[in-house]
Structure 1
Amino acid sequence: MTDASVAWDTYSAQRPERRAVNSRGDRTWFNWTQYPDHGPGAEVLGLSVGERGRVLDLGCGKGGNAAHLAALGMDSVGIDISPKQLRAAEERWHSIDGLAFHQAEAVAFLRGSADVYDAVYSVYGALWFTDPAVLLPAIRGRLRPGGVLGFSQRPAVEGCYGCQASYIPCGPDEDPLVVKRWDFETDVWEQLLKEHGYTDVRTLMLAAPPGPRMVGTLIIQARA
């Protein structure tokens, strides 16, 4: 299996930069999906604009979502295993107050911290690429009572459930890098969350926007 930091550094080089502004002209915004200007925003986390909540992004990438929450007045923490992604995040968003980035693996960070969060979230991040039997209890231990866990990922392919191989392309003459991901149907995610003490589980299978691409986004919200 590929070293995680190497894999996600490689992935980082293949991703386009977030636009300077979105379709409304906003400098920061929250996006749960793989498509621009599509789907719900930060309201999924159950926090009010101006509320001084503490939020944690598990797999923050280049930091756009974490930066948006800090711009709304929250204490926003983003972690990622990729040093290249974090360098890009710090370079772009360094002027925003209330924002901190750390290089860390999700479970190790959660277990090594005493901080409590009002919301923890993952957008195509650690909730997709970490064993939920290990990660879900680690998250719950850092959420305040009633705090929200929100995450999004691509819906599972029919018949391909549980731990899967996910491939990150390299050069034309190189084998792809391989990382693990966990794919489940919505009812299985609901069961897993309830088994680990979460309540009020809500799932949304959001269709792709009009166009040639057909893959939607699975968005899940639950409370500690």
Structure 2
Amino acid sequence: MEVVDAWEQYAQGRTPRRETNASGARTWLNWTQYPDHGPDESILGDLQGRTVLELGCGTGCNLAHLSTLGATCTGADIAPSQRRKAEARWGHLPGLTFHTADATDFLTQAAEPFDVVLSIFGPVWFTDPEQLLPLAHKRLSHGGVLAFSHKPPADDMEPVGPLREAKAVTRWDYSADEWATLLTSAGFSDVIAEIIPPPEGKDMGTLLVRAYA
């Protein structure tokens, strides 16, 4: 419960995503911590007819965009309020469902396979990879992709706000090479790990990783 409470407090302090981005789009996918920056969903290939699971989906904005591209999308987030916000904003879209669940619990209990599993600054960063990665691999269809992003490891990075106070909330700060080793050990192949450079005036980039089942 300590972890749930910490994420719930964190969620309540988050500013809702803008109604439109810089190009005027009402839905979009953002891999980095900076608005209107970095690659889009095209790195995942054609999403029409594919099944997508986002772990730590928050208020569902990334998934909502993928659903408009023809994907059948499922979101899971540990904070109860996130599901309510997601359904209130995006519940009108077809092929889009949200659940309140811990990432490993959801992966363990889900019956159907997914073609894509996403985690954008989400549970892949905050869950023991030796526990989560094999579960994600098992839940992916053959050739499916696990894609996730988080800040690169740095000595001075600490959780903020309620996450700092929840001792049970741990972050796994691994480098691209370390993730590649962990993913290979969990059965993944063709690992692509890269640092997305920050926008001008910012110091920290974003680590983006893709691996295939």
Give the CA deviation at 1:29. 0.3
Contact 1:32 1:123 in 2 (8 A): yes
| Aligned residue in 2 for 1:223 | 212
Instruction: Spell out, residue by residue over 1:139-173, the C-alpha distance to the aligned partner (whole angstroms, 9 max, x if none).
Output: 00110111011000010015x8xxx9x53415xxx
| Aligned residue in 1 for 2:83 | 86
| Aligned residue in 1 for 2:20 | 21
- Name structure 2 gaps, 5 residues minimum: none
| Aligned residue in 2 for 1:188 | 178
Question: Does the alignment pair 1:69 with 2:66?
Answer: yes
Match of 2:119 among 117, 122, 140: 122
Q: Percent identity?
A: 45
Q: TM-score, normalising length from structure 2?
A: 0.94
Question: Does the alignment pair 1:169 with 2:166?
Answer: no
Give the CA deviation at 1:43. 1.8
Contact 2:3 2:166 in 1 (8 A): no
Match of 1:151 among 148, 155, 160: 148
Contact 1:80 1:105 in 2 (8 A): yes
Q: Which residue identity is paired with 1:54?
A: T
Q: Which residue identity is paired with 2:24?
A: G
Q: Which residue identity is paired with 1:176?
A: E
Which deviates more from structure 2 when the two are superposed, residues 83-92 or residues 100-109?
83-92
Give the CA deviation at 1:77. 0.3
> Which runs of structure 2 are paired with 1:5-20 in the superposition (5 Å)?
5-20=4-19
Partners of 2:132 and 2:44 lie apart in 1 by 18
Question: Does the alignment pair 1:199 with 2:198?
Answer: no
Give the CA deviation at 1:28. 0.4
Q: Which residue identity is paired with 2:210?
A: Q
| Aligned residue in 2 for 1:52 | 49
Q: Which residue identity is paired with 1:108?
A: D
Instruction: Spell out, residue by residue over 1:103-162, the C-alpha distance to the aligned partner (whole angstroms, 9 max, x if none).
Output: 01111111111210111010000100100000000000110111011000010015x8xx
Contact 2:30 2:62 in 1 (8 A): yes
Name the structure with the higher strand share.
Answer: 1
| Aligned residue in 2 for 1:131 | 128
Moved over 3 A (4+): 175-178
Partners of 2:98 and 2:182 lie apart in 1 by 29
Partners of 1:149 and 1:7 lie apart in 2 by 26
Q: TM-score, normalising length from structure 1?
A: 0.89
Q: Which residue identity is paired with 1:167?
A: P
Instruction: Spell out, residue by residue over 1:36-77, the C-alpha distance to the aligned partner (whole angstroms, 9 max, x if none).
Output: 11011112223x15x110000000011111111111111000
Which deviates more from structure 2 when the two are superposed, residues 190-199 or residues 6-15?
6-15
Partners of 2:43 and 2:105 lie apart in 1 by 26
Question: Does the alignment pair 1:214 with 2:203?
Answer: yes
Partners of 2:93 and 2:203 lie apart in 1 by 35
Which deviates more from structure 2 when the two are superposed, residues 8-17 or residues 70-79?
8-17
Instruction: Spell out, residue by residue over 1:186-214, the C-alpha distance to the aligned partner (whole angstroms, 9 max, x if none).
Output: 11110000111101100110111112x31
Q: CA RMSD in A?
A: 1.7
Partners of 1:10 and 1:197 lie apart in 2 by 35
Name the structure with the higher helix share.
Answer: 2
Helix, strand or coil at the partner of 1:180: coil
